[in-house]
Amino acid sequence: MREGNDFGVRRTGARDIALAGVMIATIEAAKLALAFLPNVELVTLLLILYTLTFGRKIVCVIAAFLLLEGCLYGFGLWWIMYAYIWPLIAGLAWMFRRRESVWFWSIFSGTCGLFFGALCSIPYLFIGGVKAMFAWWVAGIPYDLIHCVSNMVLCFLLFAPLKAVLSSLERKRLT
Q: Where in the chain are the domains? A: 14-174
pLDDT above 90 for 63:
yes
Q: What is the pLDDT of residue 2?
A: 47
CA distances (Å), origin 76, targets 79, 123, 147? 5, 12, 21
pLDDT reported for residue 6: 45
For residues 168 and 90, the model is more confident at 90
pTM here?
0.91
Per residue in 72-124, pLDDT (tens digit) is 999 999 999 999 999 999 999 999 999 999 999 999 999 999 999 999 999 99
CB 154 within 8 A of CB 45: yes
